[in-house]
Amino acid sequence: MQRIGIISNPLSRAHQEGRAGLGTAAGLPHASPEGRPALHAALADFAARGIGLLVVNGGDGTLREVLTALPEAWPGSPPAIAPLAAGRTNLAARTLGQTGKGEAALRNLLAAAAEHRLRRQPRPVIEVARLGEASAPLRGLLFGAAGFTEATRLASGALHQRSLKDNAAVGVTALLVAAQALSGRGAHGKALRRGTPMRVAVGDEAPADHARFMLLATPLDQLMFGLWPFWGGGTGAIRWLDVAAPPQRLAAGLWSMLRRRAPGLPGWHSGRAASLRIGLDRPFVLDGELFEPGPDGLLLTASAPVVFVAP
Protein backbone atom coordinates (compact mmCIF):
# COMPACT_ATOMS: atom_id res chain seq x y z
CA MET A 1 0.00 0.00 0.00
CA GLN A 2 1.21 3.51 -0.79
CA ARG A 3 2.53 5.44 2.17
CA ILE A 4 -0.12 7.90 3.29
CA GLY A 5 0.31 11.39 4.71
CA ILE A 6 -2.31 13.89 5.89
CA ILE A 7 -2.46 17.66 5.56
CA SER A 8 -5.10 19.28 7.78
CA ASN A 9 -6.28 22.87 7.83
CA PRO A 10 -5.99 24.12 11.42
CA LEU A 11 -8.36 27.01 10.60
CA SER A 12 -11.17 24.88 9.18
CA ARG A 13 -14.63 24.96 10.73
CA ALA A 14 -14.28 21.35 11.90
CA HIS A 15 -11.04 22.12 13.73
CA GLN A 16 -12.43 25.27 15.31
CA GLU A 17 -15.50 23.39 16.54
CA GLY A 18 -13.46 20.47 17.88
CA ARG A 19 -14.92 17.96 15.43
CA ALA A 20 -11.76 17.17 13.47
CA GLY A 21 -10.52 14.27 15.54
CA LEU A 22 -8.62 11.86 13.30
CA GLY A 23 -7.78 9.07 15.72
CA THR A 24 -7.63 6.67 12.78
CA ALA A 25 -4.60 8.66 11.58
CA ALA A 26 -2.48 7.48 14.51
CA GLY A 27 0.94 6.53 13.21
CA LEU A 28 0.52 8.31 9.88
CA PRO A 29 2.53 11.43 9.00
CA HIS A 30 0.20 14.32 9.78
CA ALA A 31 0.80 18.07 9.47
CA SER A 32 -1.41 21.09 10.21
CA PRO A 33 0.62 23.93 8.69
CA GLU A 34 -0.41 27.54 9.27
CA GLY A 35 0.48 29.68 6.27
CA ARG A 36 2.07 28.97 2.92
CA PRO A 37 5.73 28.72 4.05
CA ALA A 38 4.75 26.08 6.61
CA LEU A 39 2.69 24.25 3.97
CA HIS A 40 5.65 24.19 1.58
CA ALA A 41 7.88 22.81 4.34
CA ALA A 42 5.34 20.11 5.25
CA LEU A 43 4.93 19.00 1.64
CA ALA A 44 8.70 18.88 1.09
CA ASP A 45 9.03 16.75 4.23
CA PHE A 46 6.30 14.38 3.03
CA ALA A 47 8.02 14.05 -0.34
CA ALA A 48 11.32 13.19 1.37
CA ARG A 49 9.50 10.52 3.41
CA GLY A 50 8.15 8.81 0.30
CA ILE A 51 4.47 9.69 0.69
CA GLY A 52 2.51 8.44 -2.32
CA LEU A 53 -1.03 9.33 -1.25
CA LEU A 54 -1.74 12.75 0.23
CA VAL A 55 -4.99 13.14 2.19
CA VAL A 56 -6.18 16.76 2.26
CA ASN A 57 -8.37 17.19 5.34
CA GLY A 58 -10.07 20.53 4.72
CA GLY A 59 -12.41 22.34 2.35
CA ASP A 60 -12.00 23.59 -1.19
CA GLY A 61 -9.66 26.36 -0.07
CA THR A 62 -7.30 23.92 1.64
CA LEU A 63 -7.19 21.78 -1.49
CA ARG A 64 -6.48 24.86 -3.63
CA GLU A 65 -3.55 25.81 -1.40
CA VAL A 66 -2.10 22.29 -1.58
CA LEU A 67 -2.53 22.06 -5.35
CA THR A 68 -0.90 25.49 -5.76
CA ALA A 69 2.08 24.61 -3.57
CA LEU A 70 2.81 21.14 -4.98
CA PRO A 71 4.76 22.06 -8.15
CA GLU A 72 7.38 23.99 -6.17
CA ALA A 73 7.32 22.07 -2.89
CA TRP A 74 7.25 18.47 -4.16
CA PRO A 75 10.26 17.34 -6.21
CA GLY A 76 9.63 14.47 -8.60
CA SER A 77 6.30 12.88 -9.37
CA PRO A 78 3.45 14.39 -7.32
CA PRO A 79 1.38 12.18 -5.00
CA ALA A 80 -2.18 11.06 -5.55
CA ILE A 81 -4.66 13.37 -3.77
CA ALA A 82 -7.60 12.33 -1.58
CA PRO A 83 -9.73 15.34 -0.51
CA LEU A 84 -11.76 14.92 2.69
CA ALA A 85 -14.75 17.17 3.35
CA ALA A 86 -13.88 19.31 6.37
CA GLY A 87 -14.38 22.90 5.28
CA ARG A 88 -16.97 25.57 4.60
CA THR A 89 -17.49 24.31 1.05
CA ASN A 90 -16.49 20.85 -0.14
CA LEU A 91 -17.24 20.83 -3.85
CA ALA A 92 -14.09 18.91 -4.72
CA ALA A 93 -14.56 16.14 -2.16
CA ARG A 94 -18.22 15.69 -3.06
CA THR A 95 -17.81 15.69 -6.82
CA LEU A 96 -14.80 13.37 -6.63
CA GLY A 97 -16.79 10.77 -4.72
CA GLN A 98 -15.89 11.18 -1.05
CA THR A 99 -18.67 10.57 1.47
CA GLY A 100 -18.84 11.51 5.14
CA LYS A 101 -16.51 13.80 7.02
CA GLY A 102 -13.53 13.66 9.33
CA GLU A 103 -12.90 10.38 11.16
CA ALA A 104 -15.53 8.35 9.26
CA ALA A 105 -14.33 9.52 5.85
CA LEU A 106 -10.70 8.83 6.71
CA ARG A 107 -11.55 5.37 8.04
CA ASN A 108 -13.34 4.50 4.77
CA LEU A 109 -10.44 5.84 2.74
CA LEU A 110 -7.81 3.87 4.66
CA ALA A 111 -9.85 0.67 4.43
CA ALA A 112 -10.22 1.08 0.66
CA ALA A 113 -6.49 1.76 0.31
CA ALA A 114 -5.60 -1.34 2.33
CA GLU A 115 -7.88 -3.46 0.13
CA HIS A 116 -6.55 -1.89 -3.10
CA ARG A 117 -9.97 -0.63 -4.17
CA LEU A 118 -9.39 3.11 -4.38
CA ARG A 119 -10.83 4.69 -7.53
CA ARG A 120 -8.24 6.75 -9.39
CA GLN A 121 -9.46 9.79 -11.32
CA PRO A 122 -6.75 11.57 -13.31
CA ARG A 123 -7.97 15.05 -14.24
CA PRO A 124 -6.37 18.45 -14.80
CA VAL A 125 -6.86 21.44 -12.57
CA ILE A 126 -7.13 25.07 -13.66
CA GLU A 127 -3.94 27.10 -13.46
CA VAL A 128 -4.64 30.81 -12.99
CA ALA A 129 -1.64 32.95 -13.85
CA ARG A 130 -1.88 36.60 -12.79
CA LEU A 131 -0.18 38.28 -15.72
CA GLY A 132 2.35 40.95 -14.87
CA GLU A 133 3.20 39.33 -11.53
CA ALA A 134 6.09 37.03 -10.69
CA SER A 135 4.03 34.76 -8.42
CA ALA A 136 3.40 31.13 -9.32
CA PRO A 137 -0.03 30.32 -10.79
CA LEU A 138 -2.88 29.51 -8.48
CA ARG A 139 -4.30 26.02 -9.05
CA GLY A 140 -7.88 25.00 -8.37
CA LEU A 141 -11.12 23.54 -9.67
CA LEU A 142 -13.76 26.28 -9.92
CA PHE A 143 -13.08 29.79 -11.23
CA GLY A 144 -15.68 32.54 -11.22
CA ALA A 145 -15.99 36.28 -11.79
CA ALA A 146 -18.63 39.03 -12.05
CA GLY A 147 -21.86 37.75 -10.42
CA PHE A 148 -20.02 34.76 -8.98
CA THR A 149 -17.74 37.14 -7.09
CA GLU A 150 -20.78 38.87 -5.60
CA ALA A 151 -22.25 35.50 -4.60
CA THR A 152 -19.04 34.55 -2.83
CA ARG A 153 -18.94 37.84 -0.96
CA LEU A 154 -22.47 37.19 0.30
CA ALA A 155 -21.62 33.60 1.29
CA SER A 156 -18.58 34.78 3.23
CA GLY A 157 -20.58 37.40 5.10
CA ALA A 158 -24.10 37.49 6.38
CA LEU A 159 -25.10 33.95 5.43
CA HIS A 160 -22.32 32.29 7.41
CA GLN A 161 -23.08 34.53 10.36
CA ARG A 162 -26.50 32.86 10.30
CA SER A 163 -24.84 29.45 10.70
CA LEU A 164 -25.43 28.16 7.19
CA LYS A 165 -22.70 25.60 6.65
CA ASP A 166 -21.07 23.61 3.90
CA ASN A 167 -22.74 23.84 0.48
CA ALA A 168 -26.04 25.08 1.95
CA ALA A 169 -24.61 28.59 2.15
CA VAL A 170 -23.49 28.46 -1.46
CA GLY A 171 -26.87 27.22 -2.66
CA VAL A 172 -28.84 29.83 -0.73
CA THR A 173 -26.47 32.55 -1.90
CA ALA A 174 -26.91 31.54 -5.52
CA LEU A 175 -30.68 31.78 -5.10
CA LEU A 176 -30.40 35.21 -3.47
CA VAL A 177 -28.15 36.54 -6.23
CA ALA A 178 -30.47 35.14 -8.90
CA ALA A 179 -33.50 36.71 -7.19
CA GLN A 180 -31.81 40.11 -6.88
CA ALA A 181 -30.65 40.02 -10.49
CA LEU A 182 -34.09 38.95 -11.69
CA SER A 183 -35.78 41.80 -9.86
CA GLY A 184 -33.19 44.36 -10.91
CA ARG A 185 -34.23 46.36 -7.85
CA GLY A 186 -32.06 48.08 -5.32
CA ALA A 187 -28.43 49.05 -5.67
CA HIS A 188 -27.22 45.44 -5.57
CA GLY A 189 -29.72 44.13 -8.11
CA LYS A 190 -28.98 46.98 -10.52
CA ALA A 191 -25.22 46.47 -10.15
CA LEU A 192 -25.56 42.75 -10.86
CA ARG A 193 -27.48 43.41 -14.07
CA ARG A 194 -24.95 46.05 -15.19
CA GLY A 195 -22.24 43.42 -14.78
CA THR A 196 -18.47 43.65 -14.60
CA PRO A 197 -16.39 45.18 -17.42
CA MET A 198 -14.20 42.42 -18.82
CA ARG A 199 -12.17 41.38 -21.85
CA VAL A 200 -12.26 37.64 -22.59
CA ALA A 201 -10.47 35.64 -25.27
CA VAL A 202 -11.34 31.94 -25.63
CA GLY A 203 -8.32 30.03 -26.92
CA ASP A 204 -6.98 31.71 -30.06
CA GLU A 205 -10.19 33.60 -30.76
CA ALA A 206 -10.31 37.39 -30.85
CA PRO A 207 -11.15 38.90 -27.45
CA ALA A 208 -14.64 40.17 -26.70
CA ASP A 209 -14.68 43.34 -24.63
CA HIS A 210 -17.96 44.02 -22.78
CA ALA A 211 -19.58 43.69 -19.35
CA ARG A 212 -20.30 40.22 -18.01
CA PHE A 213 -23.10 39.08 -15.73
CA MET A 214 -21.36 35.77 -15.02
CA LEU A 215 -18.13 34.03 -15.98
CA LEU A 216 -17.36 30.48 -14.83
CA ALA A 217 -14.67 27.92 -15.70
CA THR A 218 -13.91 24.43 -14.42
CA PRO A 219 -12.22 21.16 -15.48
CA LEU A 220 -14.83 19.17 -13.51
CA ASP A 221 -17.66 17.21 -15.13
CA GLN A 222 -20.27 17.89 -12.44
CA LEU A 223 -21.07 20.46 -9.75
CA MET A 224 -23.03 20.40 -6.49
CA PHE A 225 -26.80 19.91 -6.39
CA GLY A 226 -26.71 18.42 -9.90
CA LEU A 227 -26.11 21.86 -11.44
CA TRP A 228 -24.31 21.89 -14.77
CA PRO A 229 -24.39 25.32 -16.45
CA PHE A 230 -22.16 24.33 -19.39
CA TRP A 231 -22.88 23.24 -22.96
CA GLY A 232 -21.40 23.70 -26.39
CA GLY A 233 -18.42 22.22 -28.22
CA GLY A 234 -14.76 22.96 -28.65
CA THR A 235 -11.59 21.25 -27.55
CA GLY A 236 -9.66 21.52 -24.33
CA ALA A 237 -10.13 20.56 -20.69
CA ILE A 238 -11.67 23.83 -19.48
CA ARG A 239 -15.45 24.14 -19.58
CA TRP A 240 -16.56 27.78 -19.56
CA LEU A 241 -19.74 29.84 -19.25
CA ASP A 242 -19.91 33.48 -20.36
CA VAL A 243 -23.13 35.47 -19.84
CA ALA A 244 -23.16 39.06 -21.09
CA ALA A 245 -24.60 41.91 -19.05
CA PRO A 246 -27.33 42.87 -18.83
CA PRO A 247 -28.44 39.22 -19.14
CA GLN A 248 -31.09 38.65 -21.79
CA ARG A 249 -34.21 36.80 -20.54
CA LEU A 250 -32.47 35.83 -17.33
CA ALA A 251 -35.31 33.73 -15.92
CA ALA A 252 -35.55 31.65 -19.12
CA GLY A 253 -31.78 31.23 -19.25
CA LEU A 254 -31.54 30.06 -15.66
CA TRP A 255 -34.45 27.65 -16.14
CA SER A 256 -32.77 26.13 -19.20
CA MET A 257 -29.53 25.57 -17.31
CA LEU A 258 -31.38 23.99 -14.38
CA ARG A 259 -32.76 21.51 -16.93
CA ARG A 260 -29.23 21.03 -18.38
CA ARG A 261 -30.24 22.57 -21.70
CA ALA A 262 -28.54 25.27 -23.75
CA PRO A 263 -30.49 28.54 -23.32
CA GLY A 264 -30.14 29.52 -26.99
CA LEU A 265 -30.32 33.20 -26.03
CA PRO A 266 -28.27 36.22 -27.18
CA GLY A 267 -25.27 36.79 -24.94
CA TRP A 268 -25.33 33.29 -23.38
CA HIS A 269 -22.25 31.33 -24.48
CA SER A 270 -20.51 28.17 -23.31
CA GLY A 271 -18.03 25.63 -24.59
CA ARG A 272 -14.66 24.00 -24.04
CA ALA A 273 -11.22 25.53 -24.45
CA ALA A 274 -7.55 24.97 -23.73
CA SER A 275 -7.17 28.48 -22.36
CA LEU A 276 -8.97 31.69 -21.42
CA ARG A 277 -7.32 35.11 -21.33
CA ILE A 278 -9.23 37.53 -19.13
CA GLY A 279 -8.74 41.23 -18.59
CA LEU A 280 -10.49 42.65 -15.52
CA ASP A 281 -9.77 44.99 -12.64
CA ARG A 282 -12.08 43.47 -10.03
CA PRO A 283 -11.56 40.40 -7.82
CA PHE A 284 -12.14 36.88 -9.10
CA VAL A 285 -12.92 33.71 -7.17
CA LEU A 286 -11.00 30.45 -7.12
CA ASP A 287 -12.45 27.66 -4.98
CA GLY A 288 -14.31 29.95 -2.64
CA GLU A 289 -11.74 32.70 -2.04
CA LEU A 290 -11.41 36.15 -3.62
CA PHE A 291 -8.17 37.19 -5.32
CA GLU A 292 -7.05 40.35 -7.06
CA PRO A 293 -6.10 39.96 -10.75
CA GLY A 294 -2.65 40.77 -12.04
CA PRO A 295 -1.99 44.16 -13.64
CA ASP A 296 -2.19 42.57 -17.09
CA GLY A 297 -5.14 40.29 -16.36
CA LEU A 298 -5.34 36.52 -16.09
CA LEU A 299 -4.45 33.46 -18.15
CA LEU A 300 -6.37 30.27 -17.39
CA THR A 301 -4.91 27.00 -18.64
CA ALA A 302 -5.29 23.33 -17.73
CA SER A 303 -2.51 21.55 -15.84
CA ALA A 304 -1.17 18.09 -16.47
CA PRO A 305 -3.55 15.53 -14.94
CA VAL A 306 -3.59 15.27 -11.16
CA VAL A 307 -4.57 11.84 -9.77
CA PHE A 308 -7.47 12.17 -7.33
CA VAL A 309 -8.61 9.09 -5.41
CA ALA A 310 -11.74 8.10 -3.49
CA PRO A 311 -13.11 4.84 -2.02
- pLDDT tens for each residue of the chain, 311 residues long: 679 999 988 776 555 555 455 656 667 899 989 899 999 999 999 999 999 999 998 888 899 999 999 999 998 889 999 998 876 677 777 787 777 777 778 888 888 998 999 999 999 999 999 999 989 999 999 999 998 888 777 666 644 545 445 555 555 556 666 666 666 666 667 778 889 999 999 999 999 999 999 999 999 988 876 778 899 999 999 999 999 999 988 888 888 887 888 999 999 999 999 999 999 999 999 998 999 999 999 999 999 999 999 98
Domain boundary among 82, 117, 152: 117
Q: What is the pLDDT of residues 157-182, one digit of tens each?
A: 644 545 445 555 555 556 666 666 66
Mark whether 157 and 285 lie in a shared domain.
Answer: yes
Query: Cβ distance 61 to 87 under 8 Å?
Result: yes
Mark whether 135 and 283 lie in a shared domain.
Answer: yes
Q: What is the pLDDT of residues 123-160, one digit of tens each?
A: 999 999 999 998 999 999 999 999 888 877 766 664 45
Mark whether 279 and 188 lie in a shared domain.
Answer: yes
CA distance 212 to 245: 5
The answer for 137, left when phi > 0, alpha when psi is -120 to 50, beta otherwise, is beta
For position 30, which CATH number holds?
Answer: 3.40.50.10330
Residue 137 falls within a domain, yes or no?
yes
Q: Structural domain tally of the chain?
A: 2
With CA atoms as reference, report the closest residue to 139 among 128, 152, 124, 123.
128
Mark whether 75 and 96 lie in a shared domain.
Answer: yes
Residue 122 falls within a domain, yes or no?
no
Predicted TM-score of the model (pTM):
0.89
DSSP class of residue 297 equals B
Q: Which residue segment(s) compose the domain that 79 sits in?
A: 4-117
Mark whether 100 and 245 lie in a shared domain.
Answer: no
Mark whether 147 and 272 lie in a shared domain.
Answer: yes
Domain boundary among 117, 139, 165: 117
Domain boundary among 92, 117, 142: 117
Q: What is the pLDDT of residues 44-56, one digit of tens each?
A: 999 999 999 999 9
Residue 100 falls within a domain, yes or no?
yes
Mark whether 94 and 138 lie in a shared domain.
Answer: no
